Amino acid sequence: MVTIAAAGDVHASDATRDRIEQSFAALDQRVDLVLLAGDLTTLGEPEQAQVLADACARVHVPVCAVLGNHDLHCGRGDEVAAVLRDAGVHMLDRSSTTLELEGGEVGIVGTKGFVGGFTGSSLPDFGEPLLRSVYAETTAEADAIRRGLQGIAHCAIRIVLLHYAPTSDTLHGEPEGIWTYLGSERLATPIAEYRPDVVLHGHAHGGSFEGAIGATPVYNVAVHVTGRDFYVFELDGTTTAAPERLGSDP
């Protein structure tokens, strides 16, 4: 049984330093793994990433993270990732990692995901080159999820960590007119095929907490949705135990 703390959209900055440090300190000795679902910073500045890096460096368990759209806003995503990597964070970008936890292997596939929409309002691979480039970007993200899940097929516990939503289930509460920009159902195709134990994402601040892709549970762990600093849950490779939402209201 592995205990995991997950959060998305922490939007680190100097203004949130105290809160972030306190929330990470509260995890000590309570969890085996921390997962961060993008929008790690407010505007994608390396100095903001350092705030989160300082907190992560004090956690004595593995931390894995993906970037979000805020982290790429200033065009300095590589620098943001480098700051966090220097603090020991496993930064995942169309990649995967395996960790030995509680006597078994946990595999994590991580990538940003991207936009494109859902049934009834989805972006096609047609028309202007700029729009087709958007479609191609989402294709590359979905292909990375597929490759990652193939690579961790042997793991007892398999997790997909995203920023953008792979299902509209967790977007209810957001205006339906912007769902196209909050995720893409094409990200769900490899998830439905390889059936990981759980999928985590953020981005949709006004969305819903829980959804599913087939039998795979999907959780929107944006702190604005969970109402807590971390969503804490347990996995044993067969079931997801009842959640505990650790921390105070954001």
pLDDT tens-digit series, residues 97-128: 999 998 799 999 999 999 999 999 999 999 99
- Predicted confidence at residue 147, as pLDDT, reads 98
- Predicted confidence at residue 245, as pLDDT, reads 58
User: Measured between alpha carbons, how far is residue 195 from residues 73, 114, 155, 215 in Å?
Assistant: 32, 20, 12, 7
Least confident of 1-10, 98-107, 210-219, 232-241: 232-241
- Predicted confidence at residue 41, as pLDDT, reads 98
Q: Measured between alpha carbons, how far is 84 from 76 in angstroms, rounded to an integer?
A: 13
- Predicted confidence at residue 238, as pLDDT, reads 67
pLDDT grade for 244, boundaries at 50, 70 and 90? low
Q: Given a cut of 80, is residue 246 above it in pLDDT?
A: no
Residues in Cβ contact with 235 at an 8 Å cutoff, skipping those fewer than 6 apart: 1, 2, 4, 157, 159, 197, 198, 241
- Predicted confidence at residue 204, as pLDDT, reads 98
Question: If you average pLDDT over every residue of the chain, what do you get?
Answer: 95
- Predicted confidence at residue 71, as pLDDT, reads 98
- Predicted confidence at residue 192, as pLDDT, reads 98
Q: Given a cut of 90, is residue 215 above it in pLDDT?
A: yes
